[in-house]
Chains A and B, each alone.
Chain A
C-alpha cells in the first residue's frame, strides 16, 4: 500500500479531532457560516459519526445581511444532515437596526462577536467547532487546534496550552470554553480539491454568473436585495462575477470571472495574485493586528 495522500491525512486528522472533542465535551456545537469551509467541516462531521448524525447542533450566528443564497443552502444542509439548526441574532442589534451601511465596524462587532458570545452563553455550549484555517491570516497560524477561551471568551496567545502529538487536552473549568478548529491544517486549495472529490454542495455564489452589482470604494458589491442603499448616480449593472469568500453581502467584494465549474474556480484561484481575505473589509479595521485583537475580544 502506498502512504496516504495529503487529503487523506488531512481528513483523518479532522475526523480524529472532532471525535476526540465530542467524546470529552459536555455540550458541543458547530459554528456554521455556510461558506465553503463550513461545507467541508459539515461533511467531515457527518463522516466522523456516520451512520449516526453528528451528535451536536449547527449554530448560525446571523447578521440578517447574508446573501439570500446562503440562507437557502443553510436550511437545505441542516435538513439533509439531520442536525438541529440554531439561528442566533443579537437582539440588541435587531432592535437598533445595526447594518453595515450606517454602522461600520460596529456591524461586525455587534452581530458577530457579541452575537456569538451571546449564543454560546445562552445555550451553555462548552465547545464550539469553527472552520478557520491557519493559512488564512497570520495570527491564525499561532492558534491551537483546541483553543482555550476564558469565561469571558477571551483568547490569550501567551496562555495557550501546548498541543502534543494528536493528544488534545479538552479539560476546563465550568464557564471556560474551547474553540476547536478541525480545518487548521487545510489550505484554500485543499478545501477546493476536497469539495470537488466529494461532490460537496456549496453556495452557487462561488460560481460565476451575471449578477446585479455596483462598484464602490474599489470593491465590486452585489445588490442582493432592495435594502442596498444606492448612492446618487449609482445604478446596478449586470456583471459576470463570483465570490472567493462569503460574508455579509454589503461587505463582501466580488471578482469579475467566467469560472462556472470547480476546476475553473481552482484554476482561477491558483493563478490569482491577491489573497482570499482581501475581498473582506473586516481585516482592515485596525491595521496589522486586527484579527489578533478581534480574537482576544472573543471573535472566532
Chain B
C-alpha cells in the first residue's frame, strides 16, 4: 500500500507545526473551503476513495486505525489490506448489508483548503440522496471503474449534477491498477464521456486516472502513469476556482430571515447575502413591496462593518423606516430581481406519495414559505436515456418539468443565475415531509403586470355592515352521513337569528360550477379547490357560508383552511360509521357502488380520511339532526362572544 510520506507537501506540515505553531496558524487562517460531491456506481470504489482522502490527510487516528485494521480482517473485502470503505460506511445497518443508505458528509483539509465531501450512494433508487448532496456542492467528482467504462449510472449521475447547476466536474477513472495503468483504456473512457458530456451540455471537465486503493494520482503524480501530465486529484481540488466566489460580482440580494428589534431605537434586518456586495450608503429596494431606502449600518458583534459580501450572514439597518419583514428580499435598488406567481420549474420528486396535481403544498424559497399548486407535469425525464416522457404525475425519484402557481407573488431569480433565489423545496402540508426539490426556469407572466383591483370597500366593512363575523362551516363526512340535512337545519336557525348565510351543497355544485369534473382523485381535489375559492369570495362578501361536501382528503380541507383568514374555517365532522351510512343508503348509492355500477365511491373503493381534530364533532349514532344543529349554532354564538 502506498501512503504519503510525512513530508508530503499537500497535507499539514508537521515540521512547521512542531517548530512554529503561530506561523502555521497564521497560514491556516486564510484557507478557503470547497464543497464537493462524489458520485459513482455501487462498486466504483467511492467509499474507498473517500476513506483514502481521510487517511492521507491524517484524519485517521491510531485508535481509529486499530479499529479499522480489526474491522478489515473481520468484515473487509480487501483481504489483508486496509478496507478504507469501512471508515465511512457509518451506520450499523449499512455495515451489516455492505451498502450506503444515505448522504454522509465528510470533512478533511489540506494545507490550502478545507473540504466538505458529500458521499452519496450509487443505488438506482437513491436519486433523492444524490440531488441532496449535489445541491450544496461547488464541484462533482464522477467516478468510473476503469474496467467497466461509462455506465448508465455514470450518465445519470452526470445529468443530475449538471441539473443541479454544478459546472466544475472531475472525471476520476478509478481502479487503474486493475487495467495495468493502460493509457488506451483511459483515453477511450474519456472520449466516451466527452461524447455524452457534449450531449447534455457539460462544457469542460478534468479527467484523472487514479487508484483509490493503491493511491495513484491522489496526492501526487504516480510513477505508474508516466503518460498522464495533468494534476493529481488533491492538487486539482485545492487549486480549482470556487464557483460561489463569483457570486460577489452579481447584483446585491439578501433574503430577510429575521427582523431584529431589541428596543424601539434599533431595527435591523438579518440574513445571509445571496449575491453581490453591500456597503453603508448603498441604495436598496425591498421586494416584493418595491419600497426603497439606503443602508445606514452593517451591524456585527465585533463592531460595524465597512462592507459585506456574498456568503456572509449580516444584519443591515436602513436610513428610513420602511416595511420589511421575514421573507422579503433586500436588493440593489438599480438591479432588483423579478417578482412573479407563475413559473415553469424542474421538480425532483422525493416524497413516498406521488405528486398530486391541484393539491396545495408549501413552497419554501429563500426565507419565504407560500402555498403552491402544481399543474400535471409537461413531461418527465428518463434519466438514463434523457428522453422526455408523457406523465400525469411524478413518483419518488422521478424528475419532470411542470408549471407551478404560488398563492402570492414571490421574489425569485432563475436557478441558472442563483441557486439561493431559484432553488426551492416543496413540503407536504399534513405530514410536513420534504416531498420535492425544485429549480425555477422562468416566470410565465410577471405578477407586477397583474394589477389587483384596489377596492375601496373592505371585507371588514362588509362584515361590519352585516353585523357578523364571516365564517365557513365546512361539513365533511361519508355519503349519507347527514351533512346536507344538518347543514340545512343550521342555516334555517342562523337565518332566523338574522345572520346572512349561504349553503353550498355538493350535489348542486356538481350540476353547475363543477359539472365538468368526475370522481378521480384529481377531479375531487379540483372540486374542493373551486368550492373553497367560492366560499372565500363569499366570506369576503361578509357571509356565513355552509358547505356540505364529502371532501374525503385531509390535504384539501387543509388547503381550504389555508385560503381563509385565521379562525374563519370551522371543520364540522359529521361522523357516521360506514355500516350505518350504508344501511341508511338514502340515495341508493352504496348499493350501486357495491354492485360495481359506481366507481371511486368514498368508503367503498376510495378512501375517506377522517378529521383528526375537527372544530365540531357530531356523532350521528348518538346525536339526532336537530340536536346536532342546535349544538353547532350554540358553538357559533359562543365563538362570536
> Judging by beta carbons under 8 Å apart, are A16 and B257 in contact?
yes
Kindly state the separation between the CA atoms of A61 and B114 in the bound complex, as whole angstroms. 33
Name the prevailing secondary structure of the A interface residues. helix
> Judging by beta carbons under 8 Å apart, are A6 and B114 in contact?
yes
> Judging by beta carbons under 8 Å apart, are B104 and A142 in contact?
yes
Kindly state the separation between the CA atoms of A123 and B279 in the bound complex, as whole angstroms. 42
Q: A16-B313, A46-B301 are in contact. Are A193 and B29 (CB under 8 A)?
A: yes
A252-300 with Cβ < 8 A to chain B: 263-264, 266-267, 270-275, 278, 288-289, 292-293
> Judging by beta carbons under 8 Å apart, are A141 and B135 in contact?
no
Residues of B within 8 A of A138 (CB): 88, 90-91
User: In the complex, which of the residues B30, B102, B245, B309 contacts A142, with contact meaning CB atoms closer than 8 Å?
Assistant: B102
Shortest CB-to-CB span from A62 to chain B, Å, is 28
Kindly state the separation between the CA atoms of A28 and B453 in the bound complex, as whole angstroms. 41
The answer, yes or no, to whether A163 is at the interface (CB within 8 Å) is yes
User: In the complex, which of the residues A12, A52, A142, A185 contacts B260, with contact meaning CB atoms closer than 8 Å?
Assistant: A52
The answer, yes or no, to whether A126 is at the interface (CB within 8 Å) is no
A48-74 with Cβ < 8 A to chain B: 48-53
Kindly state the separation between the CA atoms of A5 and B245 in the bound complex, as whole angstroms. 11
The answer, yes or no, to whether A190 is at the interface (CB within 8 Å) is yes
The answer, yes or no, to whether A139 is at the interface (CB within 8 Å) is yes
User: In the complex, which of the residues A12, A172, A190, A267 contacts B272, with contact meaning CB atoms closer than 8 Å?
Assistant: A12
Kindly state the separation between the CA atoms of A158 and B94 in the bound complex, as whole angstroms. 11
**Contact code string A6-37 (vs B, CB < 8 Å = 1, else 0):** 11111111011001101100000000000000
In this complex, what residue of B is CB-closest to A184? B105
**Contact code string A118-148 (vs B, CB < 8 Å = 1, else 0):** 0000000000000000110011011000000
The answer, yes or no, to whether A171 is at the interface (CB within 8 Å) is yes
The answer, yes or no, to whether B318 is at the interface (CB within 8 Å) is no
The answer, yes or no, to whether A232 is at the interface (CB within 8 Å) is no
Kindly state the separation between the CA atoms of A278 and B365 in the bound complex, as whole angstroms. 42
Kindly state the separation between the CA atoms of A169 and B369 in the bound complex, as whole angstroms. 10
In this complex, what residue of A is CB-closest to B257? A19
> Judging by beta carbons under 8 Å apart, are A162 and B437 in contact?
yes
**Contact code string B293-335 (vs A, CB < 8 Å = 1, else 0):** 0000001111000010101110100000000001000000000
> Judging by beta carbons under 8 Å apart, are B17 and A270 in contact?
yes
In this complex, what residue of B is CB-closest to A291? B90
> Judging by beta carbons under 8 Å apart, are B128 and A162 in contact?
yes
> Judging by beta carbons under 8 Å apart, are A5 and B92 in contact?
no
User: In the complex, which of the residues B313, B364, B433 contacts A15, with contact meaning CB atoms closer than 8 Å?
Assistant: B313
The answer, yes or no, to whether B277 is at the interface (CB within 8 Å) is yes
In this complex, what residue of B is CB-closest to A272? B61
> Judging by beta carbons under 8 Å apart, are A6 and B420 in contact?
no
User: In the complex, which of the residues B32, B103, B245, B432 contacts A169, with contact meaning CB atoms closer than 8 Å?
Assistant: B432
> Judging by beta carbons under 8 Å apart, are B300 and A47 in contact?
yes
> Judging by beta carbons under 8 Å apart, are B29 and A189 in contact?
no
> Judging by beta carbons under 8 Å apart, are A8 and B423 in contact?
no
**Which residue, A52, A142, A184, A266, has most C-beta atoms of chain B within 10 A?**
A142
The answer, yes or no, to whether B132 is at the interface (CB within 8 Å) is yes
Shortest CB-to-CB span from A192 to chain B, Å, is 9
The stretch of B18-26, B190-198, B209-217, B403-411 that contacts the partner chain:
B18-26
Kindly state the separation between the CA atoms of A174 and B113 in the bound complex, as whole angstroms. 43
> Judging by beta carbons under 8 Å apart, are A51 and B299 in contact?
yes
> Judging by beta carbons under 8 Å apart, are B135 and A164 in contact?
yes
User: In the complex, which of the residues A3, A134, A160, A190 contacts B32, with contact meaning CB atoms closer than 8 Å?
Assistant: A3
Q: A52-B260, A193-B25 are in contact. Are A288 and B132 (CB under 8 A)?
A: no
**Contact code string A90-101 (vs B, CB < 8 Å = 1, else 0):** 000000000000
User: In the complex, which of the residues A1, A9, A293 contacts B248, with contact meaning CB atoms closer than 8 Å?
Assistant: A1
Shortest CB-to-CB span from B123 to chain A, Å, is 14
B410-426 with Cβ < 8 A to chain A: 419-420, 423-425
Q: A12-B313, A164-B423 are in contact. Are A197 and B135 (CB under 8 A)?
A: no
Shortest CB-to-CB span from B198 to chain A, Å, is 28
Residues of A within 8 A of B270 (CB): 19, 48-49
Shortest CB-to-CB span from B313 to chain A, Å, is 4
Shortest CB-to-CB span from A151 to chain B, Å, is 13
> Judging by beta carbons under 8 Å apart, are A12 and B312 in contact?
yes
> Judging by beta carbons under 8 Å apart, are A19 and B109 in contact?
no
> Judging by beta carbons under 8 Å apart, are A196 and B25 in contact?
yes
Shortest CB-to-CB span from B396 to chain A, Å, is 11
Q: A49-B260, A141-B106 are in contact. Are A167 and B93 (CB under 8 A)?
A: no
> Judging by beta carbons under 8 Å apart, are A169 and B434 in contact?
yes
Kindly state the separation between the CA atoms of A34 and B308 in the bound complex, as whole angstroms. 31
> Judging by beta carbons under 8 Å apart, are B427 and A270 in contact?
no
User: In the complex, which of the residues A141, A163, A197 contacts B88, with contact meaning CB atoms closer than 8 Å?
Assistant: A141
The answer, yes or no, to whether A161 is at the interface (CB within 8 Å) is yes
- Interchain residue pairs with CB less than 8 A apart (27): A3-B244, A4-B32, A4-B309, A4-B311, A5-B33, A6-B32, A6-B33, A7-B31, A16-B257, A23-B326, A46-B301, A52-B260, A52-B262, A53-B262, A138-B88, A142-B90, A157-B101, A162-B128, A165-B135, A165-B419, A166-B420, A169-B364, A193-B29, A267-B21, A275-B63, A288-B95, A289-B91
Interface residues of A, Cβ cutoff 8 Å to B: 1-13, 15-16, 19-20, 22-23, 46-53, 134-135, 138-139, 141-142, 157-158, 160-167, 169, 171-173, 184-185, 187, 189-190, 193, 196-198, 263-264, 266-267, 270-275, 278, 288-289, 292-293
**3 A-B pairs with the lowest CB-CB distances in the bound complex, closest first:** A3-B245, A289-B92, A138-B90
Beyond known contacts A49-B258, A142-B90, A184-B105: 9 more, CB 8 A cutoff: A4-B33, A6-B32, A16-B313, A19-B271, A51-B266, A162-B103, A164-B132, A267-B18, A275-B64
